[in-house]
Amino acid sequence: MRSFAGRDILSLKGFERNEFEHLFQIADELEPIARERRNVDLLSEKTLVTAFYQPSTRTRLAHEAAMHRLGGHVTGFSDAKMTRAGDFYQESIKDTVHMLEYYGDVLVMRHFQQGAPHEAAKWASIPVINAGDGWGEHPTQVLTDLYTVQSEMGSVDGKTFVCIGDHRMRTMHSIGYALSQFDAEMVILSPEEMSPLPEFLAELDEMGTSYRIVEHIDQVIAEADVIYMEPVVQPDYTQSRQEKQDEYGMTPANYQITREVMKKAKGDSIVLHSLPRMDELLPEVDQLKHARYWQEAYNGVVMRMALLASVLGVME
């Protein structure tokens, strides 16, 4: 297995099964720190730099909370408009990263431009973690999600993931790549205009991901182990920011999870959603035994602890 020390986390395309398992093991070792709300000194001499060119709640704060839990320090920006990268100068990624690398030991970047973290990694002398790049990928979110499945269900193997929503989304790309390393099936359900692109399906074929495409939730809800959701009503991820409009579409019933839909599901199935949500996942589901998206959010801190400890070389 390749060492994680000093390594960029940009994509799950190149991840191997033993690397997933290794991170899950480290997450298990560090989880009591988060559960007991303790801070330790594991990364007391390290600093995390955050560069968020797009809005974020969970991803940014989970990385920052993870760094604090491990005793490290945090600096960075969450609004590029307040930096020279977002004003008159439109400072390049190259110049920005050449500066940021002197301010810390690891860089976490979210950007509206697909491939921006990869560009940053070309110029940075410190590890770069992709926190979401346009329609590209969201590797740390999917690592969190698979860790949640592992923790809640004992294994990712043998599971049917019914993936509902916009399959142009970066999380859908990362989950498709990741499942190539497990004995699991990806079931794709999306509106026609949000179907996975042919080139993405070709990648899944090449990587060996087991998948099929269905047209209606009723075809698969009874066999779903993991109901994996993303919105179909959402902003344009190729923009740095998009305000909510006065008028916007509603989610068609075929892509909604409700109490009524979950009556047809397996008793031990779980619902995951990276959040935020619109009306595709109704609050009435929150109290059902299937809901695991709050645990998923908690695990987001735990998995980022594992990633930071690994790329900074303190846990191998």
Could you tell me if 148 and 263 lie in one domain?
Answer: yes
Q: Are strands 73-77 and 128-133 parallel, antiparallel or unpaired?
A: unpaired
pLDDT band at residue 316 under the 50/70/90 scheme: confident
Tell me what pLDDT residue 234 has: 63
Could you tell me if 146 and 277 lie in one domain?
Answer: yes
**How many separate domains does the chain show?**
2
Q: Would 12 be classed as within a structural domain?
A: no
Q: Would 9 be classed as within a structural domain?
A: no
The alpha carbons of the chain give a radius of gyration, in whole angstroms, of 19
Q: Would 78 be classed as within a structural domain?
A: yes
* Residue 132 reports pLDDT greater than 80: yes
- Nearest partner of 271 among 250, 299, 295, 290, judged by Cα: 290
Percent of the chain with pLDDT over 70: 93
- Which whole-number Å values give the CA distances from 138 to 145, 220, 267, 271, in the listed order? 11, 26, 29, 19
Could you tell me if 98 and 207 lie in one domain?
Answer: no
Average pLDDT over residues 180-206: 97
Could you tell me if 186 and 112 lie in one domain?
Answer: no
How would you list the strands of the sheet with 128-133, edge to edge? 73-77, 47-52, 106-111, 128-133
Determine the straight-line distance between the first and last CA of the chain, rounded to whole angstroms. Answer: 11
pTM of the model: 0.94
Task: Give the angle 158-9-24 at the CA atoms, nearest 5°.
Answer: 40
Q: Would 7 be classed as within a structural domain?
A: no
Average pLDDT over residues 126-139: 97
**Which residues, 6 or more positions from 205, have their beta carbon under 8 angstroms from its beta carbon?**
none
Could you tell me if 110 and 167 lie in one domain?
Answer: no
Tell me what pLDDT residue 87 has: 60
Could you tell me if 125 and 167 lie in one domain?
Answer: no
Q: How far is Cα of residue 215 from the mean position of the Cα atoms in its chain?
A: 25
Task: Give the angle 17-115-52 at the CA atoms, nearest 5°.
Answer: 95
**Which residues, 6 or more positions from 25, have their beta carbon under 8 angstroms from its beta carbon?**
none
- What the block records as the tokens of 120 is 């940053």
Tell me what pLDDT residue 245 has: 57
Could you tell me if 133 and 183 lie in one domain?
Answer: no
pLDDT band at residue 90 under the 50/70/90 scheme: confident
Could you tell me if 91 and 49 lie in one domain?
Answer: yes
7: exposed, middle or buried (C-beta count within 10 Å: 0-12, 13-18, 19+)?
A: middle
Q: Would 1 be classed as within a structural domain?
A: no
> Is 91 within 8 Å of 148 (Cβ atoms)?
no
- Which whole-number Å values give the CA distances from 168 to 121, 220, 243, in the listed order? 24, 21, 20
Query: Coil, helix or strand for 229?
Result: strand
Q: What is the pLDDT of residues 200-212, one digit of tens each?
A: 999 999 999 999 9
Range of the domain at 121: 17-137+298-311
- What the block records as the tokens of 31 is 């989880």
Could you tell me if 202 and 250 lie in one domain?
Answer: yes
Q: What is the pLDDT of residues 20-41, one digit of tens each?
A: 999 999 999 999 999 999 999 9
Could you tell me if 130 and 143 lie in one domain?
Answer: no
Q: What is the pLDDT of residues 59-85, one digit of tens each?
A: 999 999 999 999 999 999 988 777 766
Tell me what pLDDT residue 88 has: 56
The CATH number given to whatever domain includes residue 226 is: 3.40.50.1370
Could you tell me if 64 and 93 lie in one domain?
Answer: yes
Q: What is the pLDDT of residues 96-124, one digit of tens each?
A: 999 999 999 999 999 999 999 999 999 99
Q: Would 2 be classed as within a structural domain?
A: no
Q: Would 158 be classed as within a structural domain?
A: yes
316, 306, 126, 16: CA torsion to nearest 10: 70
- Which whole-number Å values give the CA distances from 264 to 190, 217, 237, 255, in the listed order? 19, 10, 33, 15
Q: Would 203 be classed as within a structural domain?
A: yes
| Residue type at 48 in one-letter notation | L
Could you tell me if 123 and 146 lie in one domain?
Answer: no
Side-chain-side CA neighbours of residue 234 (13 Å): 21
Q: What is the pLDDT of residues 223-260, one digit of tens each?
A: 999 999 999 876 555 565 556 555 556 899 999 999 99
CA–CA separation, 80 and 90 (whole Å): 10
- What the block records as the tokens of 197 is 């692109």
- What the block records as the tokens of 225 is 């182990």
Query: Coil, helix or strand for 145?
Result: helix
CA–CA separation, 123 and 290 (whole Å): 44
Average pLDDT over residues 187-212: 97
